[in-house]
Structure 1
Amino acid sequence: MKITGASTPSITIAPQAGGPVAAPAAAPVAASEALESSVLQPAQSALKALPDFDAARVAELRDALQKGELPFDAGRLAGLIQRFHGSQG
């Protein structure tokens, strides 16, 4: 048996007097957005409260680099940057 689009019945919804007809799929989408918003709200607030970077950690790493306690290979870093960005000039 072959199923084609021609055998699919068409349904027409006529607007009722007094206003437009709302799409049935609109309610579940709005409900899931509200749920997602209420679930994610605490996490979003916590992220907004954090600084963009940890200044104390950056200072610690900078000191370690200056003292030679943290290995640094400029050639390797350059290669990784070039590989990440490709041959874009």
Structure 2
Amino acid sequence: MKITGTGAPALTPAIGGAAPAPAPAQAAQPGRSASPLESEVLQPAAKALAALPDFDAARVAELRDALAKGELPFDAGRLAGLIQRFHGGRG
């Protein structure tokens, strides 16, 4: 699941789901500027972005295997500190 925080639908499909149907383009109304996604210039980029997966499943599998085999170093204490720092902790 992708969390956008804006209340607007995400551009990328949910994990295991299909891409959301594109919203119909609305005609520009007087006094209303078009959103970036309604712009003809950005529509191809938005469509290409919507076609991308949320994550690279093959790369995740590679890293999971390397971690399970002990080939990838893992420091749980460092990870915990980084999570605390990211979320505003004093770590």
Provide the TM-score with structure 2 as the length reference.
0.55
Cα distance in 2, alignment partners of residues 45 and 67 from structure 1: 38
Whichever residue aligns with residue 55 of structure 2, its letter is F
**1:80 partner SS:** helix
Q: 1:76 maps to what in 2?
A: 78
Calculate percent identity across the aligned residue pairs: 78
Q: 1:86 maps to what in 2?
A: 88
Tell which has more relative contact order, 1 or 2 (C-alpha 8 A, sep 6+).
Answer: 2
Whichever residue aligns with residue 63 of structure 1, its letter is D
Cα distance in 2, alignment partners of residues 78 and 39 from structure 1: 42
Provide the TM-score with structure 1 as the length reference.
0.56
Relative distance call for 1:34 and 1:80 in structure 2 (3 A) is closer
50, 55, 58: which one aligns with 1:56: 58
Deviations for 1:24-52, whole angstroms, at most 9, x for unmatched residues? xx4xx74xx48971111111001111111
Structure 1 unaligned regions, length at least 5: 1-22
Q: Which has the larger radius of gyration?
A: 1
Size of the aligned set, in residue pairs, is 59
